[in-house]
């Protein structure tokens, strides 16, 4: 799967979280951008099937959102194969939402995003300078200002992870998951952190929990295989690699993983 399609998949999985944060415009734009990417790129059958499910879930979530229904009372129709029609509907929806956003609201949103970006860079500068306590203080203040912002917590957790502050990253990701238990990317990131902490049993539980929501993510299986590599569970590593290849037969790294596991068994 190309980088563009991976981004499209991520946008579709973020719709629920964006609506919970009271961001119908961002949710509608995420679906619209994802559809444009899907329409521009040729898809294999398994990719088409996966995106059909993700689009159905995203459209259902949009239709169930009360605030969105207030702003746009029409039901959004979709059935697999009608991506072009849905794209036109989403363009209309985004246009209607833009009409509801006043210049004052736009300025307020832009100002908040500017403050968020500035504080994130400030905290990152402290991390880079190894001033860990100051970084924590900056990030904690930012999260108090933007309560319930799952994406912000995940962003800060990523920064902690890159700085090898695994316990800090884990705490934030677990907190974010409580607010958005269907955010699959959080399970994946928690699994990565726990693997680095060598808490293999716990990491496996999070990966397997994520796979209860989807069994069509080759990268999720690959990361599970990485866990089994560190854990020296060769048979399970082979199985995870084969499932990744079952979704994407051209996944070269998964094939290398499978071959390595076979040598170890």
State the average pLDDT over residues 188-212. Answer: 92
Q: In this structure, is residue 129 part of a structural domain?
A: no
Q: What is the mean pLDDT of residues 85-92?
A: 93
Q: And the tokens for 265?
A: 């068994």
Alpha-carbon distance of 206 to 186, in angstroms, equals 9
Residue 49 resides in a domain: yes
**Is residue 230 one of the residues assigned to a domain?**
no
Does pTM top 0.85 for this prediction?
no
Ramachandran angles phi, psi of 118, nearest 5°: -65, -45
DSSP string, 80-123: TT-HHHHHHHHHHHHHHHHHHS-HHHHHHHHHHHHHHHHHHHHH
Weakest mean pLDDT among 39-48, 66-75, 108-117, 252-261: 108-117
Closest Cα to residue 43, out of 220, 185, 213, 247?
A: 247
Looking at residue 99, its pLDDT comes to 79
* Residue 67 pLDDT: 86
**Of 21-25, 81-85, 109-113, where does mean pLDDT reach its minimum?**
109-113
Residue 14 near residue 151 (C-beta atoms within 8 A): yes
Does residue 195 lie within any of the structural domains?
Answer: no
233 pLDDT above the threshold of 60: yes
50 within some domain = yes
Whether residue 54 lies inside any domain: the answer is yes
Q: Residue 64's CB: how many other CB atoms inside 10 A?
A: 11
In this model, does residue 104 exceed pLDDT 70? no
160 near 175, Cβ under 8 Å?
no
- Report yes or no on 62 lying in a domain: yes
Q: In 3D, which of 111, 108, 163 has the Cα closest to residue 134?
A: 163
pLDDT tens, 149-158?
A: 888 998 999 9
Determine the structural domain holding residue 7 and report its residue range: 3-101
Of the candidates 31, 24, 23, 65, the residue with the CA atom closest to the CA atom of residue 51? 31
Closest CA to 34 of 8, 71, 61, 14: 8
Cα–Cα distance for residue pair 66/62, rounded to 1 Å:
9
- Structural domain total, the chain: 1
Distance separating alpha carbons of residues 157 and 12, to the nearest angstrom: 21
C-alpha to C-alpha distance for 217 and 6, rounded to whole angstroms: 10
- Domain annotation covers residue 136: no
């Amino acid at each position: 799967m190309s980088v563009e399609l991976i981004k499209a998949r991520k946008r579709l999985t973020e719709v629920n979280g964006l609506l919970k944060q009271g961001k119908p415009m961002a949710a509608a734009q995420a679906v619209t951008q994802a559809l444009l990417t899907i329409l521009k790129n040729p898809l294999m059958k398994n990719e088409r099937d996966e995106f059909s499910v993700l689009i159905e879930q995203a459209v259902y979530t949009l239709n169930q959102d009360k605030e969105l229904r207030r702003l746009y009372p029409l039901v959004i129709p979709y059935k697999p194969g009608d991506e072009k029609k849905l794209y036109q509907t989403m363009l209309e929806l985004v246009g209607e939402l833009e009409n509801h956003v006043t210049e004052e609201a736009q300025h307020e949103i832009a100002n908040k995003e500017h403050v968020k970006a500035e504080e994130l860079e400030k905290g990152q500068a402290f991390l880079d300078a190894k001033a860990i306590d100051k970084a924590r203080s900056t990030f904690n203040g930012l999260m108090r200002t933007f309560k319930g912002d799952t994406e912000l917590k995940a962003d800060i957790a990523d920064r902690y992870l890159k700085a090898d502050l695994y316990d800090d990253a884990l705490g934030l990701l677990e907190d974010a998951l409580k607010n958005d238990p269907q955010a699959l990317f959080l399970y994946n990131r928690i699994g990565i952190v726990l693997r680095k902490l060598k808490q293999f049993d716990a990491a496996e539980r999070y990966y397997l929990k994520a796979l209860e929501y989807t069994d069509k993510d080759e990268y999720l299986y690959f990361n599970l295989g990485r866990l089994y590599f560190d854990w020296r569970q060769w048979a399970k590593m082979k199985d995870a690699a084969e499932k990744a290849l079952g979704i994407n037969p051209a996944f070269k790294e998964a094939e290398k993983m499978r071959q390595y596991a076979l040598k170890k068994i």
